[in-house]
Structure 1
Amino acid sequence: MDKHSVLKGYFGHDSFREGQEVLVDAILSGHDALGIMPTGAGKSICYQVPALLMRGITIVVSPLISLMKDQVNALIGCGVRAAYLNSSLSAEQYGRALTLASQGAFSLIYCAPERLLTPSFLSFAENADIAMVTVDEAHCVSQWGQDFRPSYLRIPEFISRLRRRPIVSAFTATATQRVKEDIISMLRLNSPEQVVTSFDRQNLYFGVESPPDKYERLCGILERNTDKSGIIYATSRKNVEELCERLSHDGYSVTRYHAGLDDVEKHRNQDDFLYDRKRIMVATNAFGMGIDKSNVSFVIHFNMPLDIESYYQEAGRCGRDGSFGECILLFSQRDVRTCRYMIEHDSGDNGLDEQTLAIVKKGQLARLDKMQRYCQTTDCLRGYILRYFGEKAPDRCTCSNKGGCSNCDGEFEDMDITIESQKVLSCVYRLAQRKLSFGEAVIADILKGRSTAKVTGFSLETLSTFGIMPDSTLVSIKRIIRFLETEGCLAKNAYGSYELTSRARAVLIERKPVKMKVPKKTPVKALGTSKAGRNIERSTTRPELFWRLRSLRNRKAQEEKLPAYIIFNDSSLRDMCEKLPRTEEEFMYISGVGEAKCRKYAKDFTAEICRFLDEQKRQQTVK
């Protein structure tokens, strides 16, 4: 077999997506590889196809113990010999799996990084023919990444213990340039083939809202997504508990997930969501990494997350099959304070020494600042994300056939803030004269004329700029401060305090006009309405047939005790509705149908399609 026959025969795809074939070819040529590809871009194909063509075993290192079973079941459903080795197995099951692995029974073996150097696994690996070690969620190796895991630092030690160095491949959905460099260095990749595909998920709509009542707005969004599956992220366990209880009381099909639940409930709730027994998952960021559920239609952040990396990875869990996905963040200033508190009061229970922990916290605070700016920018939200990851972006964006974010959909007007900007910059200048510098909170207090402890402690009420913006709110003053930073008139020093830049002169001395975009004041829209919610989802040919095929898929999933998306995702069902296959040969042309699935499901699905067509023909005859 070659790469194309493996792609079609096992996974049912006629061609590779952007970036996949380059990485597949590099691995098959014996080179290390690094793929940075957004959620839904098909990272797994990049190592699964070579694994099925190479002699020997591919070890997939993944932190996702709770999801390895589903990942392996999906591969087995495609006819791939795969297994997982983790703590969910009994001692007898684990021993049996290792024995089979030693006999060459599996092409791919998934395991957690903590297990690599255990005596039993190491004994197996040292004597096995390991062709490749694949590191999934590779950003976890970097202390500058959003999910740093010290256990990932031991992966190179495991590789060094093997009798010969295998090919090493690494994959992640999000990585800045600094994190990418860390991945290459810390995993000791040898001149890897590097592919960074576009972070632009064209099927996703991004929105940021600051409603007076978050819960009321949340319910409005849920009402326009009736019968669709989605995830609601909240910052804390307490928020998750309260939201889940309130939504359940109000009649929503909902379950919960956070690190405080015992393993039994975690697995039960996760399965309820994956198997579509519950429509909505309310969770902390403990849920979701590696979730392959293809029919998630919306992701709502009830609270602002800690960084853009986490937000984009979590938001990207909807629309994985190419269908329209709605990503809405409900923002408030309180979210910023909560996130800052969480970072500053991290006890360091993850095994980091004080110096390393300080470095990690510094990076977290810097990323939090960028996250806050995303929530408050009036520029294109999609463009903000793309530029954050080093990608060029247009001034305005699109999603499907409509606007692609709430800012590009919204209406703005220019507000002259020249005088307000001069007051802010003058305040920073007066502080510098006293050899002082502060962050936005203290500057806003001075301008507002608030005699806080810090203001009086430094005698800042004696400044000429004290109280010169009494009619402005603290929120609006802080917004102007951040805008001036964005415009390059202010810059933060190493301590997070603001200082003037050379550009400030044009505003302060030369009286250069300053204008800031602000939303136009318009009547409040009815709950649940938005451009994103108006017929933006890709239409389905023959919707009645789609629902019949979906019901058939769900029955098959229940019989086989598998999540429905592992049988077929919604895009495969839509393709069936479009192509109307009536024979096994025709069924092989459906997207996502490989040889194993064709043998297993073609008869039942083509029979349902034939019944539908016969019924349609009889109805036409009666008319």
Structure 2
Amino acid sequence: MGLAATGSEAPEGTLAERALEVLGRVFGYDAFRGLQAGVVEQVAAGGDALVLMPTGAGKSLCYQVPALLREGVGVVVSPLIALMQDQVDALRELGVRAAFLNSTLDARQAREVERQVAAGELDLLYVAPERLVTERCLALLERARIALFAIDEAHCVSQWGHDFRPEYLQLAILHERFPRVPRIALTATADAQTREEIVERLALRDARRFVSSFDRPNIRYRIVEKTEPRRQLLEFVEGAHAGEAGIVYCASRAKVEETAEWLAAHGVPALPYHAGMDAATRAANQARFLREDGLVMVATIAFGMGIDKPDVRFVAHLDMPRSVEGYYQETGRAGRDGLPAEAWMAYGLADVVQQRRFIEQSEGDEAHKRVSTAKLDAMLGLAETIECRRVRLLAYFGEASTACGNCDNCLEPPEPWDATEAARKLLSCIWRIRESTGFGFGSQHVIAVLRGQDGPKIRQYGHEKLSTFGIGADLGEAEWRAVLRQLIAQGLVVVDHARHQVLALAPESRALLRGERSLRMRRPRPAARAARRGRGAKGKATSGTGAAGLERERGSAAGGDTSLDPAAEALFERLRAWRRTVASERQLPPYVIFHDATLREIALARPGSLDALAAVSGVGQRKLEAWGQAIIDLIAAPGS
């Protein structure tokens, strides 16, 4: 069976005891976390499971351990072939017999993997969904002993989701062709509607459901209003995450290229990634990001699904995602090692207008547009809320929580503002302008009229004579843009994209104009104040060093104080340097050797023997045999 392949015969004992033995000996952990133990027992015993766990919660162990406990090969359906190599490399370092079957293999290599599958020589096989459903692959699996099927990133089956993959719809064939093989579907992103779609489309009606908390307490959420977005991004990166790995998401390929070049020109080592690049360059950039420390990847959402790099310290968005699911999935790529990380986003009026236009101009039917609009409204609500971001985020997934004390709204509470009167002035101004000329104008012109800013264009149309001219002089441009953004977000103002993005009132605005409803929002900070705040944050953060500074600021909020004293910090850096050398020699990402979290624990514990080192979380039997003595010698070396 799979367990024997890792170095010893299956131990006696209950299923739970055998699972713990595999967990400790192969993976180096002494206990399962959260719902892992229940999932492992369910699948190892032959049952189906639907697993919803946040990124970094250890979903992979939920199918890897059962695959090693059951007879045969565990088949893992993974949507990104570019990441299979690293996943397989990591398993092989643990002594697990793993391989992948995808289009990167030549005919000879593919035949060898197929031979290994048929001969029962593998514990885990990673396959892309489009290859799995071919008759050749299905016939191969029917000749083999299958331990289980794991369908990773199962939310890809949802046609309403942000990552829909048509080939996932064919995976119900696994239930038809292999009715006695247990199946486990896993995802970190699924609201109630998506969960039901997964169950229905993958024929998992009898599967036991495991839904853990969606909370990622080690991630700090911060959303800012756009003023100078690239400059704001640079201040964020340099202020809190200089020299650390991160991902910056942009909405367009052109913006990806421009932002990567701009960051690099300002001293931040940044690489671009998007689907329009040639495959070789794209693959090379991804490999560098996974294998090198401190790189920033600027990308479209084409990058990131299934990224295993555990030490991504920040994820930044220069454009607002179109759904909370997308935002959660993308921000979840930060801090997979459980250490402090940040999710930062800059958004403004243009984001709201652009996302509305995407929906209006999409080829979907009216039902699809309604769902898309509802998802966008939820995302806008998260961005505009004056309450705890984490409470709002978790509520979207049906989870109740209390204020986290670790998001921008908790740390720097925004000033609430009854913007009802301001909103009525803006609506009236849009109406008066359109009434006077017979056609509408864009936001810049409307706000100029409101603020009483005279100019040639205003005089050309006589708008300085309107009753609404200058009635908004008490507010700045940023405040009026915030009010307009909220009105568009709530569907009270519409943007006519066919006519140079002119503004018009929606029928729903009448209630606000008549005083039958109110508008309460966060008061925007003036640009100068925001800039001072940014410099202050930068100075504060550099008193620590990136994540370490956040750790000291947060204390035990991320699950215990793991900050290092100077001696331990120095040893940690020597361990990281040793890891880089070993990883380079073996042409592997450094985290495949050991995660930062494991090296930090070693630096804190300073084990003096192999037995003591074996007690450190993340040091399994194979890694102890391969690297144990080298680590003990490094700790004992003069200066350590």
Verify same fold: TM over 0.5.
yes
Question: Which residue of structure 1 aligns with residue 83 of structure 2?
Answer: 67
The 10-residue stretch of structure 1 (360-369 or 560-569) with the greater mean CA deviation from structure 2? 360-369
Distance of aligned partners of 1:604 and 1:497 in 2 relative to their CA distance in 1, 3 Å threshold: farther
Q: Secondary structure at the match of 1:174?
A: coil
Give 1:86's match in structure 2, choosing from 102, 123, 128. 102
What letter corresponds to residue 639 of structure 2 in structure 1? E
Give 2:571's match in structure 1, choosing from 536, 545, 560. 545
Matched, 1:282 2:284: no
Question: Which residue of structure 1 aligns with residue 639 of structure 2?
Answer: 615
Distance in structure 1 (CA, Å) of the matches to 2:119 and 2:189: 37
Runs of at least 5 residues in structure 1 that lack an aligned partner in the other structure: 349-353, 399-403, 429-439, 451-460, 487-495, 617-623
Distance of aligned partners of 1:520 and 1:500 in 2 relative to their CA distance in 1, 3 Å threshold: closer
Distance of aligned partners of 1:303 and 1:393 in 2 relative to their CA distance in 1, 3 Å threshold: same
Give 2:259's match in structure 1, choosing from 212, 235, 243. 243
Distance in structure 2 (CA, Å) of the matches to 1:45 and 1:96: 26
Q: Secondary structure at the match of 1:319?
A: coil
Distance of aligned partners of 1:30 and 1:287 in 2 relative to their CA distance in 1, 3 Å threshold: same
Distance in structure 2 (CA, Å) of the matches to 1:38 and 1:344: 32
Q: Secondary structure at the match of 1:536?
A: helix
The 10-residue stretch of structure 1 (279-288 or 248-257) with the greater mean CA deviation from structure 2? 248-257
Distance of aligned partners of 1:465 and 1:594 in 2 relative to their CA distance in 1, 3 Å threshold: farther
Distance in structure 1 (CA, Å) of the matches to 2:628 and 2:280: 36
Distance in structure 2 (CA, Å) of the matches to 1:190 and 1:416: 48
Q: Secondary structure at the match of 2:550?
A: coil
Question: Which residue of structure 2 aligns with residue 165 of structure 1?
Answer: 180
Distance of aligned partners of 1:530 and 1:180 in 2 relative to their CA distance in 1, 3 Å threshold: same
Matched, 1:378 2:386: yes
What letter corresponds to residue 564 of structure 2 in structure 1? T
Q: CA deviation at 1:481?
A: 3.7
Per-residue CA deviations over 1:168-190 (Å, capped at 9, x if unaligned) read 11000011000001111110014
Runs of at least 5 residues in structure 2 that lack an aligned partner in the other structure: 1-10, 12-17, 431-441, 453-462, 493-504, 544-548, 552-561
Matched, 1:137 2:153: yes
Contact 2:419-2:483 within 8 A present in 1 as well: no
Distance in structure 1 (CA, Å) of the matches to 2:74 and 2:368: 32
Question: Which residue of structure 2 aligns with residue 77 of structure 1?
Answer: 93
Distance in structure 1 (CA, Å) of the matches to 2:230 and 2:530: 20
Distance in structure 2 (CA, Å) of the matches to 1:226 and 1:417: 38
Contact 1:383-1:397 within 8 A present in 2 as well: yes
Q: CA deviation at 1:250?
A: 2.6
What letter corresponds to residue 255 of structure 1 in structure 2? L
Question: Which residue of structure 2 aligns with residue 577 of structure 1?
Answer: 603
Distance of aligned partners of 1:498 and 1:608 in 2 relative to their CA distance in 1, 3 Å threshold: farther
Question: Which residue of structure 1 aligns with residue 225 of structure 2?
Answer: 210
Distance of aligned partners of 1:310 and 1:480 in 2 relative to their CA distance in 1, 3 Å threshold: closer
What letter corresponds to residue 345 of structure 2 in structure 1? L
What letter corresponds to residue 523 of structure 2 in structure 1? V
Distance in structure 2 (CA, Å) of the matches to 1:581 and 1:507: 72
Distance in structure 2 (CA, Å) of the matches to 1:21 and 1:497: 53
Distance in structure 2 (CA, Å) of the matches to 1:278 and 1:175: 31
Per-residue CA deviations over 1:567-613 (Å, capped at 9, x if unaligned) read 001000011011111222111111111111111110111110111xx
Q: CA deviation at 1:539?
A: 1.6
TM-score (norm 1): 0.83
Distance of aligned partners of 1:24 and 1:266 in 2 relative to their CA distance in 1, 3 Å threshold: same
Contact 2:80-2:305 within 8 A present in 1 as well: yes
Per-residue CA deviations over 1:184-214 (Å, capped at 9, x if unaligned) read 1110014222111111111111101124211
Alignment of 1:194-205 (within 5 A): 194-205=209-220
Question: Which residue of structure 1 aligns with residue 377 of structure 2?
Answer: 369
Per-residue CA deviations over 1:2-29 (Å, capped at 9, x if unaligned) read 0001111111111111111111121123
Question: Which residue of structure 1 aligns with residue 532 of structure 2?
Answer: 525
Distance in structure 1 (CA, Å) of the matches to 2:357 and 2:490: 25
Distance in structure 2 (CA, Å) of the matches to 1:466 and 1:135: 59
Alignment of 1:120-131 (within 5 A): 120-131=136-147
Q: Secondary structure at the match of 1:530?
A: helix
Alignment of 1:360-439 (within 5 A): 360-394=368-402, 396-398=403-405, 404-420=406-422
Distance of aligned partners of 1:286 and 1:514 in 2 relative to their CA distance in 1, 3 Å threshold: closer
TM-score (norm 2): 0.81
Distance in structure 1 (CA, Å) of the matches to 2:252 and 2:228: 18
What letter corresponds to residue 390 of structure 2 in structure 1? R
CA RMSD of aligned residues (A): 3.4
Q: CA deviation at 1:313?
A: 1.3
Distance in structure 1 (CA, Å) of the matches to 2:125 and 2:368: 32
Distance in structure 2 (CA, Å) of the matches to 1:507 and 1:194: 49
Distance in structure 2 (CA, Å) of the matches to 1:276 and 1:127: 41
Q: Secondary structure at the match of 1:133?
A: strand
Between the aligned residues of both structures, percent identity stands at 38
Q: CA deviation at 1:425?
A: 9.8
Distance in structure 2 (CA, Å) of the matches to 1:345 and 1:105: 52
Distance in structure 2 (CA, Å) of the matches to 1:46 and 1:272: 29
Give 1:117's match in structure 2, choosing from 133, 144, 150. 133
Give 1:34's match in structure 2, choosing from 50, 65, 81. 50
Contact 2:422-2:472 within 8 A present in 1 as well: no
Contact 1:204-1:319 within 8 A present in 2 as well: yes
Per-residue CA deviations over 1:385-435 (Å, capped at 9, x if unaligned) read 1111111121x322xxxxx1111122433434454467799999xxxxxxx
